[in-house]
Amino acid sequence: MIGEGILSTNQKKHAYVQEGRTVGFYTDPTLCIGCKACEVACKEWNDVPDDGYRWSGNSYDNTDALGASTWRHVLFIEQDRPRGEQLAGPMSGDRLSDLTAHEDPFRWLFHSDVCKHCEEAGCLEACPTGSIVRTEVGSVLVQNDICNGCGYCVVWCPFGVIDRRKKPLHDAGGAFKCTFCYDRQASGLVPACAKACPTESIRFGPLDELHAYADRRVAHLRATGYPDAHNYDPQESVRGIHAFFLLLGEPEAYGLPPRPQVPTIYLRSAWTSAALTAFGALGAAFAAFWFL
């Protein structure tokens, strides 16, 4: 927690990998200042290549989306509604009622997105080479020296996170995404993005502790003028995510699916249909010979 200093789980050394303790990220846009230190720290620590400099014209977001060379992405969202009791622009009054009477309501949200490290991970289930594995801390890791670049994981991810790196970047063709800084964690270090975040908008720690904190955080925000605060941690199909978020308003505004689905949930019905079709065809063939 901010104010805990070196005792914060974002700062102190740990032994979660050795203990096999499930950890996660809780990312809170109400604390984010859009500094992008997380994006930069991720690129720097993991030697992720730059994927081009261009002006998107989309607020101050020139990164656009997560991808093979963008493992953290700070989304800039501009909305025509007030943010809690915050007043935007020059005021003709000092109360929210004055604002809504005389000013266009406006809020600016910053949301640091990342791989969700799903409990039921589509990428992991689809990978035919065993390149994608579950680690001791519950994260989902791509072992790039085993990846053959088939791209199955790309289409099986319900969040559009993982992607294949394009030429002429190094290791082009392979699939890449956030590693949850497994190498740092194995040495007792906090993931680079959380370590660099100056406001602890990205909060790293044991998943059970993060869930308890997240519930308290939402209750606090709702009691202090943010009625649309809620936690995004879909349970259906993906069975929970290890990098979960506080959101103000609807998930679609953040590019998050309200009901993400892992394709394997359709496997049972697909195999049942295939079996029924096969039995039907067999029965029809027998009937055809019988009545000949």
Q: Which residues bind ligand SF4 (CB under 6 A)?
A: 32-38, 41-42, 45-46, 71-72, 74, 110, 112, 114-118, 121-123, 140, 157, 159, 161-162, 177-181, 191-193, 196-199, 201-202
Which phi and psi angles does 134 have, rounded to 5°? -95, 130
Host H or E run for residue 109 = strand 107-114
- What is the nearest approach in angstroms of ligand SF4 to the Cβ of residue 66? 9
- What is the nearest approach in angstroms of ligand SF4 to the Cβ of residue 93? 31
Q: What is the DSSP letter of 61?
A: B
How many residues in the chain? 292
Residues 132 and 143 sit within 8 Å (Cβ to Cβ): yes
Residue 62 or 100 with smaller CB distance to ligand SF4: 62
Residue 118 or 214 with smaller CB distance to ligand SF4: 118
**Rounded CA separation 198/209 (Å):** 21
Residue 180 or 226 with smaller CB distance to ligand SF4: 180
Residue 103 or 136 with smaller CB distance to ligand SF4: 136
Alpha helix locations (H) across 173-229? 182-186, 192-196, 207-223
Residue 48 or 87 with smaller CB distance to ligand SF4: 48
**Rounded CA separation 212/125 (Å):** 29
- What is the nearest approach in angstroms of ligand SF4 to the Cβ of residue 151? 12
Residue 99 or 154 with smaller CB distance to ligand SF4: 154
- What is the nearest approach in angstroms of ligand SF4 to the Cβ of residue 69? 11
Position 66, amino acid: L
- What is the nearest approach in angstroms of ligand SF4 to the Cβ of residue 263? 10
Residue 99 or 132 with smaller CB distance to ligand SF4: 132
Dihedral of alpha carbons 200, 205, 209, 215, sign = positive
Please name every residue paired with 133 in a beta bridge, in sequence order, or none if there are none.
141
- What is the nearest approach in angstroms of ligand SF4 to the Cβ of residue 80? 22
Three-state secondary structure call for residue 99 = helix
- What is the nearest approach in angstroms of ligand SF4 to the Cβ of residue 100? 28
Residues 52 and 62 sit within 8 Å (Cβ to Cβ): no
Position 149, amino acid: G
Between CA 171 and CA 59, with CA 197 as vertex, the angle to 5 degrees is: 75
